[in-house]
Structure 1
Amino acid sequence: MSADIAFTELMEFQRQTEALAQVAGRLGWDQETMMPRGAAEQRSEEMAALEGVLHERRTDPRIADWLMAAAAEDDEDAAQLRLIRRSHTRATKVPSRLAQEIARVTSTAQGIWAEARAADDVALFLPTLTEVVRLKREEAAALADGRDRYDALIDDYEPGATAATLGAMFDRMRPRLVALREAVLGASYQPAPLQGHFGLEAQVRMARDLAATFGYDWTRGRMDMAVHPFSSGSGSDVRITTRVVETDPFNCFYSTVHEVGHACYELGIDPDYALTPIGSGASMGVHESQSRIYENQLGRSRAFTGWLFQRMSERFGDLGLPDAEAFYGTVNRVQSGFIRTEADEVHYNLHIMMRFDLERGLIRGTLEVADLEEAWNARFLQDFGVAVDRPSHGVLQDVHWSVGLFGYFPTYTLGNLYAGCLMQALREAVPDLDEALARGETRGATGWLRENLQRHGGLYTPHELVTRACGFEPSEGPLLDYLETKFRDIYRL
């Protein structure tokens, strides 16, 4: 078999696999947004069946033959082969039985988690979570080949990252974050909270307008409601979700902007890459860099919140705040809240550090599911100085563990780190950024991100991609500098 024929046959086979994976993703989207509750058991069987088909394709012995015979003619070909080889190597280590069982159990677990969260009943969820953890430990052991099991799971979301490197990064970040938190919480000036009632329909209309403002393509997407906001899909079908709390419109608005960041990454990838391995984001850390920079560095900036203050005042009337500057402080108000997704920028990474330690213990076997709630509550009190008042504010708040996403949480902080670096480069490249954001104009920023990062999809490794976009190697320094400058200014320190 010639190298050209091998590459062509491999890519044709891979295209069908990628299309089937998109179908699986659509089933997951439907389950969280529209599926009737009574369909959960059948859906778990459907997901398991489709995972069986996908696993069979990903482990097809012909892939090894094609990879051995194929040759890359350019960087794109080389990236396709790199990612196919990686996927094939990982898939062949996991038995089909285990892959299908994980798909079946996590599909069911998601619904049980949602019910337990709504009822604030940990006991309802623990047996299912115990089964999920057992399966993920087995998968991790199969992937690790004697290495650290948690590292094997991290690699699924952030290739090349390890618990050791992430732990060292957290150790460097924690002192400056804690010092900033203490200074801010102890400041004499404290921004006022937003008060009032903000109706569901009005919030949803505003959220749709914000999505369009940040460049979301409604011809290739839609927005629905979910317990835990997420985005789903790639290519020409990328959907977002949000949620509404009628006393807290920022929950809806910034969840929406966050998910638009994810969606615009997928929608911004070169269309020639669609339904190929490089047709999706480079990693979850890079993905989070887009959602976090849209939400925080752009969406919570002084310039953009000035524009948002005017729009919200027009839609909702008097907000009880004297001016745009006070509104900017309110949007960025720092407080030791329970919920990660609602956390301010100062506290957010401390939430991630806690989850990183807990899930690492669960996978390594040094922490058991039966002891998880106690461990969570003790760690939260230690880190945030507040006692967890109910499970939905504690161990039941995140969907990730129910669907088996162990190793995913640290990518949120990596995303923040990458976003800090990207924002430094963006400000140098777009000198009139603040003037544009003050007009509600985001195209200069989102266009720069699309050109320098998003369009490349998975063409480069995460580290290569961010380094190329920024012009320097990523580190936590720009993020911490940004946080200290911003919040010392807001809190008049």
Structure 2
Amino acid sequence: MRNDAYEALMAHARETAALEQVSGRLGWDQETTMPRGAAEQRGEEMAAMEGVLHARRTDPRLADWLAAVEPADAVASAQLAKIARAHARAVKVPARLAQEIARVTSLSQGIWAEARSRDDVAAFLPTLAEVIRLKREEGAALAAGGDVYDAMVDDYEPGMTGADIARMFGELRPRLVALREKVLGAAHQPKPLDGAFGADAQIRLSRDLATAFGYDWSRGRLDIAVHPFSSGSGNDVRITTRVVESEPFNCFYSTIHETGHACYEQNVDPDYLLTPIGQGASMGVHESQSRIYENQLGRSQAFTSWLYTQMLERFGAFGIGDARAFFAAVNRVQPGFIRTEADEVHYNLHVMLRFDLERALMLGDLAVGDLEAAWNDRFKADFGVAVERPSQGMLQDVHWSIGLFGYFPTYSLGNLYAGCLHKALRADLPDLDAQMAAGDLSAATGWLREKVQRHGSLMAPAEVISQACGFAPSAGPLLDYLEAKFGAIYGV
């Protein structure tokens, strides 16, 4: 009976996972190739799919199967824990609400993209207010009398709370601000990249970068999106990037970042395919992969020396005379407006701003109509420059339009985890720089595959990092890395 129950439970879970992948593919299509006129219909399609998925996640048989099963090993135990957690959360949310969130956020994404292109906050605010109303209702149902924002964070980083995140930022902020002040006040300031870099050539080099970082093209593809993202798991994992001819680093490092996400999904143990543990352990762990690919590896002096030669071959001379100056240009510190283009020193300050604002929105401490002013005031206080237009400010990110409240802090948690992983990786791979200078990342990506990616969600997030590193995650390794790297570049 126990074996029969487990097999029935896993068969149900696999079919649910397959349908979730279909739903994800609808989302990928919406952001890449869907005709604009299909937006309203796609909203209905997404709502219908969510209705089917919600019914499966709340199926009464799940509780019966779970009660009848005793796990035979660690893998079965992890599978059951994931199923039980998903079921417990799903039954708290009415089907009507789940479907309405799916419908509204599908429509909202297109409205946001149009408003962003026209810098028209007023066109987006009514839709954003509706998304927030629905997400508050969902959060209240999940929290069951507890903190609404904590319930949202728990969707992306199980066990994490708003208070935990606030403590993390309290540890990060002082040293980040002190480093920023030293760097911006340094006598030597790197020369920025200047010129035009053809879109087709950027895409060709982006494809080569994804290949260098281990992306399996037989199970993936690269497309263009307003906001770069990756989508899917297992044998169909797709990435996107964006192209601005005057800003090739945006394209290249967006691609590397999304490749980090995609490789995590492609490298999960194939035995876990379409099962509850067949995806990344959490968004924080996911971001640790995208951030270490992008920053500690992709922006390293060793790898940028190889990238410099690639750019010279493909674009000709572009005004930067040697690999060391190129390394400094790649890592140039400036208080820019856009989070996805932010340097490593400023990046977490961008996330802190969003965390405080979205937490206030969800807890009712900030009105939607006051969000733009609150954003602009906070940005001026944190970065010392005034937001010039909404696409530089509250309209720049897709996340709130699609209801991803509680997601932003996982970017910084991922940075923290990446700092720990990089420290351990360097200890294990003393010859890494010589390999990366030749464009060979296989040792580094192989280390990450074995230590982190292949496990999927077999372990809890912090356990994944602790086991990979041999020590508990903390902010120290990230801050030490940043101070050493930028201290050397800027001579401070």
TM-score (ref. length: structure 2): 1.00
1:170 corresponds to 2:169: yes
Secondary structure of 2:91's aligned partner: helix
Cα deviation for residue 172 of structure 1 reads 1.1
Aligned residue number for residue 187 of structure 2: 188
Aligned residue number for residue 477 of structure 2: 478
Aligned residue number for residue 421 of structure 1: 420
For 1:180, give the aligned amino acid.
L
1:412 corresponds to 2:411: yes
For 1:245, give the aligned amino acid.
V
Aligned residue number for residue 136 of structure 1: 135
For 1:357, give the aligned amino acid.
D
RMSD between aligned residues:
0.4
For 2:162, give the aligned amino acid.
A
Cα deviation for residue 368 of structure 1 reads 1.1
Cα deviation for residue 242 of structure 1 reads 0.2
Aligned residue number for residue 257 of structure 1: 256
Q: Percent identity?
A: 71
Report the Cα distance in structure 1 between the residues aligned to 2:345 and 2:335, rounded to whole angstroms: 10
**Aligned residue runs from structure 1 range 347-358, under 5 A:** 347-358=346-357
Report the Cα distance in structure 1 between the residues aligned to 2:475 and 2:84, rounded to whole angstroms: 31
Secondary structure of 2:174's aligned partner: helix
Cα deviation for residue 360 of structure 1 reads 0.2
Cα deviation for residue 381 of structure 1 reads 0.4
Cα deviation for residue 133 of structure 1 reads 0.2
Aligned residue number for residue 160 of structure 1: 159
Aligned residue number for residue 457 of structure 1: 456
Secondary structure of 2:240's aligned partner: strand
Stretches of structure 1 lacking an aligned partner (at least 5 in a row): none
Aligned residue number for residue 302 of structure 2: 303
**Aligned residue runs from structure 1 range 85-104, under 5 A:** 85-104=84-103
Aligned residue number for residue 213 of structure 1: 212
Equivalent pairs counted in the alignment come to 492
Aligned residue number for residue 49 of structure 2: 50
Aligned residue number for residue 281 of structure 2: 282
Secondary structure of 1:93's aligned partner: coil
Report the Cα distance in structure 1 between the residues aligned to 2:315 and 2:212, rounded to whole angstroms: 19
1:177-216 Cα offsets, whole Å, 9 max, x none, are 0000000000000000000100110100010011101111
Stretches of structure 2 lacking an aligned partner (at least 5 in a row): none
Aligned residue number for residue 322 of structure 2: 323
Aligned residue number for residue 268 of structure 1: 267
For 1:355, give the aligned amino acid.
R
For 1:188, give the aligned amino acid.
A
Aligned residue number for residue 13 of structure 2: 14
1:263-321 Cα offsets, whole Å, 9 max, x none, are 00000000010000000000000000000000000000000000000110010011201
Report the Cα distance in structure 1 between the residues aligned to 2:457 and 2:157, rounded to whole angstroms: 12
Report the Cα distance in structure 2 between the residues aligned to 1:387 and 1:142, rounded to whole angstroms: 38
Secondary structure of 1:142's aligned partner: helix
Report the Cα distance in structure 1 between the residues aligned to 2:377 and 2:5, rounded to whole angstroms: 56
Report the Cα distance in structure 2 between the residues aligned to 1:303 and 1:457, rounded to whole angstroms: 30
Secondary structure of 1:172's aligned partner: helix
Secondary structure of 2:89's aligned partner: helix
Cα deviation for residue 322 of structure 1 reads 1.4
Aligned residue number for residue 65 of structure 1: 64
For 2:163, give the aligned amino acid.
A
Aligned residue number for residue 389 of structure 1: 388
Cα deviation for residue 71 of structure 1 reads 1.2
Aligned residue number for residue 40 of structure 1: 39
The structure 1 segments of at least 4 consecutive aligned residues displaced by more than 6 Å after TM superposition are none
For 2:67, give the aligned amino acid.
M
For 1:347, give the aligned amino acid.
H
1:5-52 Cα offsets, whole Å, 9 max, x none, are 111100001110000000000000000000000000000000000000
